[in-house]
Amino acid sequence: MKEYDFSTDIPTLGEAKILSPLKTNLNAGEPEKRFVSDDQKVVVDVQLDHLQHKEKMIGFDPAGPREMIYFDPSKLKCAIVTCGGLCPGLNDIIRSIVLELHHIYRVQTVYGIKYGLQGFIPEYGHEVIDLDTESVSGIQNKGGSMLGSSRGTQDVGMIIDCLERLNIGILFMVGGDGTLMASKRIAEEIDRRELKISVIAIPKTIDNDIYLVSRSFGFDTAVDVATLAIRGAHNEAVAYPNGIALIKLMGRHSGFLAATAALAQQDANFVIIPEVDFYLYGKTGFLQALENRIQRRKHAVIIVAEGAGQNLFDEQDTKYDPSGNIVLKDIGLFLKDKISQWFKAKDIPISLKYIDPSYMIRSLPANSNDSVFCGFLGREAVHAGMAGKTKLLISTWNNQYVHVPMDASAGKRKNLDPHGRLWQSVLEATGQDSYIND
């Protein structure tokens, strides 16, 4: 049986002693709400060969409303902040949280923190805005985030000072792996100060690479748009003799978007992802394989994830962004140049088109599936916070919404398994080989 190196226990601010409004505010004839108990669990591993080890199984706490809550809604103040890169669905998350707090729990004060973690720091001078049902009306139809965002770390002590000044009881943080690390540090400092502030994170990444998160919002929308880009790239490639279309998609460390989009629109002949190193030259290198494809079929479509091929660059020239992430070398433009040089040296004329839809994807509104998903995530985040739970992120696991401890997820990454079914399906769909250095 697989052993896990994390605990699934969720911290709480104290005993929940207040009867939930979901139980007390029922209208005549309205069916009673179904509450979730902490005694229920969603097992982490459900493989059949592990059933003999039931006594060793671990599980996540299911998300959902609790019958008893910790915070008094009439006195509670909440805050929402969005951090990091833009992603389809951010406005849907904000709207879902606000509507659940106002309509279901009757919480009257919800603040929006502008421009990410900068909004907590006085020197930036960013305003704090009041969020209510009117201010979030229709925002799900717009891309980006109505609260704005920013990158980079900020002083945790000053962030918590701001939370205290605003008398915040629940802080909802929406962001990627950097935000999860910040959320963890904020929650730890809150513990150190012995404050009663709940920190609930909603994981955001188009790359779908957050550990212990089966699916992240925005990914479905990104696949939709990437599919359109692949379709257009294929049309460009076949329209010209020796046409080559090169598409760069998001995926700093994980190739989920590139792989999934390739399967959704099976026009790609080569898919290059960060989890699988490849090499350019030699009889078994990528460029020779591309030449063989052009000689045989007269066109080719290439998908490359933005973090792929970093093994081809000089590691000594490493730079970092304001959030502490390594600034990746641009594999898209690098490949474009290498392909052009290769065919020019062979005196083979080509028509090469380079397509990068990344920023268009990031700033679009969520599609229908993502919008529904964001609604669930926002509501489950509110239920968790109202129950006094803290230092957790909302996730889906085995088709259930669950609470994942920040300690178990923050600082770790989910990668595509090169031996798993997803990547093997890509190899079958494209017919590509391994491009090794001979």
Architecture of domain 18-216+365-409: 3-Layer(aba) Sandwich (3.40)
Q: What is the mean pLDDT of the chain?
A: 92
How confident is the model over 368-408, as pLDDT tens digits?
Answer: 999 999 999 999 999 999 999 999 999 999 999 999 999 99
Asked whether the beta carbons of 237 and 300 are under 8 A apart, the reply is yes
Count Cβ atoms below 10 Å from residue 420 Cβ, excluding itself.
12
> Which residues are designated catalytic?
207
* pLDDT computed for residue 392 by the predictor: 98
How confident is the model over 10-44, as pLDDT tens digits?
Answer: 999 999 999 999 877 666 556 666 899 988 899 88
Q: Is the CA virtual torsion 188, 194, 195, 196 positive or negative?
A: positive
The rounded distance, in Å, linking the Cα atoms of 15 and 23 is 18
* pLDDT computed for residue 1 by the predictor: 43
Q: What is the pTM of this model?
A: 0.92
How confident is the model over 296-331, as pLDDT tens digits?
Answer: 999 999 999 999 999 898 766 677 776 667 788 999
Please provide the DSSP assignment of 372-400 as one string. Answer: HHHHHHHHHHHHHHHTTB-SEEEEEETTE
Residue ranges, comma separated, of all CATH 3.40.50.450 domains in the chain are 18-216+365-409
Q: Is the CA virtual torsion 380, 367, 430, 283 positive or negative?
A: negative
CA atoms within 13 A on the CB side of 126: 20
**CA 33-37-40 angle, 5° bins:** 125
Q: Which fold has domain 219-363+418-430?
A: Rossmann fold (3.40.50)
How confident is the model over 83-126, as pLDDT tens digits?
Answer: 999 999 999 999 999 999 999 999 999 999 999 999 999 999 99
Alpha carbon separation from 12 to 70, 175, 378 (Å, rounded): 9, 22, 19
The rounded distance, in Å, linking the Cα atoms of 300 and 181 is 41
Asked whether the beta carbons of 86 and 370 are under 8 A apart, the reply is no
Helix (H, G, I), strand (E, B) or coil at 183: helix
Dihedral over alpha carbons 325, 354, 310, 278 (to 10 degrees): 150
Residue ranges, comma separated, of all CATH 3.40.50.460 domains in the chain are 219-363+418-430
